[in-house]
Amino acid sequence: MKIDYRPDIDGLRAISVFAVILYHADFLLYDYKIFKGGFIGVDIFFVISGYLITSLILKELILNNNFSIKEFYIRRIRRIIPVLFSIILIFTPFAYFLLLPSSLVDFSKSALSTLGFSSNFYFHHSGLIYGGPDSSLKPLLHTWSLSVEEQFYIIFPIILVFLYKFFKSSLLSFFILFFLISLFSTQLIAYKFPLYNFYFINVRIWELLAGSIISYLEINSFKFKKNYFNNFMPLVGSILIFFSIILLNDK
């Protein structure tokens, strides 16, 4: 099943991509980094992914009372693997000619882990701080977020189909419970284990589940009674995103 085209979601995608690009561009205004919170573009993408995947699965379950996990995996592979191969193939000759031998070995390991959707584990194991001085020598560093998403795509459909079959009436409660557990855990370990907190899915899944909760409410026709609230909240959300990009920092 295909989800109807959503220009608003494409707009959010564009904002998230530009936010990350501007963050890495290090634009300064009187020694002030203007877009120092642009890294939240990745977080926005996680919410979008959670929303879209949950919408896809729930609509198939509701309309057809069936969902093929195999077909879902095949669609994900067809969508992601060709582009991923292309990126690695483009980077490989540059890495061969520009990187020192030790960095080239690291690149090879990161390429293999990327193809196995586990580059977040690899970069965590290597102790790499995102945005740190060594990150410029890791051309595939950005694939950590893809690995998180793919890990979500692998485990989430199985869990969702199980919950829908046996705990259909409590589905929203499970979403909220797992959301809160992940959110609180990321706060608890933020200071002692910042790298773990950055790279691993169990402390990132609350962002994906935020999208899942929105999807569930939308599919079940949850609406606020006041129309002005529906018209007002998108503006509030846009303002919060804008100020997050400007005011947050990676400390």
pTM of the model: 0.87
Cβ contact 233:8 at 8 Å: no
How far apart CA 67 and CA 234 sit, in angstroms, is 32
Q: How do residues 133-177 score in pLDDT, each as one tens digit?
A: 566 667 888 888 899 999 999 999 999 999 998 988 899 999 999
Output the pLDDT for position 157.
Answer: 93
Cα dihedral angle (16, 56, 209, 235), rounded to 10 degrees?
50
- Averages of pLDDT over runs of 10 residues in the chain (251 residues) are 76 91 82 84 93 91 83 89 90 86 86 89 77 66 89 93 90 94 90 84 93 90 65 86 88 74
Share in percent of the chain as helix, strand, coil (round to 5): 75, 0, 25
pLDDT of residue 172: 92
HSE on the CB side for 179, CA within 13 Å?
16
Which of these, 4, 2, 42, lies nearest to 131 by C-alpha position? 42
The SS3 call for residue 28 is strand
pLDDT at 232: 82
Give 81-107 pLDDT, tens digit per residue.
888 889 899 989 888 888 888 888 888
29's enclosing H/E stretch is strand 28-29
